[in-house]
Amino acid sequence: MSKVALNRWQLEKNNQTLTILGLSLMLLCVTLSLTLMANVKVKGIYHSEEILEDFVSRVSKKAFSFDTESFSGQLEQIDKYLDELVRVSLNDSYAENMEIMEENEIKQEFEIKNISIEEGSKPFLVKVEGERITSSYANPQKQSVMKVNYLFEVMSLKPTKKNPYGLKVVQIHEYPKDEVKKL
């Protein structure tokens, strides 16, 4: 056998060996990847306190600050964040008071004073303390200020384009200022 033929034969053997080693290494990597993926636990959707506070702040301002012309539009803006029963309850409450509000040109603003979240609660329990300021367009100087507390029950969902927060209000409870709700 000539020296060239011998070198060619050794080169082919080395290529075969490297190919087998490369394929074995790729198979090992694939196996490890699949094993690691199978052992990864899917974590629950995480919402920070800042996200919850921002969410509840936006929803409460839209739900509780309105006049006779703005209510339905504001409710539409937060509709995707409200459970059906909450939406119906807000509409019913507004409908009950609509005539009085229209006759007296009443507007209502809700000013948030404090938001607190009960740690570890599911659904999330978020207490909103604030003031309901009621006035009339006919007489804006005459205002009624009432301290109110709301307890929002907020459920965590998968975020979507329609609901980027991934949160939904499933209940809202109103408590008088004197009634202390401990969180």
Tell me, yes or no, whether 118 and 59 share the same domain: yes
Tell me, yes or no, whether 72 and 21 share the same domain: no
Q: Which residues face 131 on adjacent strands?
A: 111, 147
pLDDT digits (tens, 9 = 90+) for 95-145: 898 888 888 888 899 999 999 998 888 889 999 999 999 888 888 788 888
pLDDT digits (tens, 9 = 90+) for 32-84: 454 444 433 333 455 788 999 999 999 999 999 988 888 888 889 999 999 99
The tally of domains found in the chain comes to 2
The pTM (predicted TM-score) of the whole model is: 0.69
Tell me, yes or no, whether 87 and 18 share the same domain: no
The boundaries of the domain holding residue 109 are 49-176
Domain assignment present for residue 109? The answer is yes
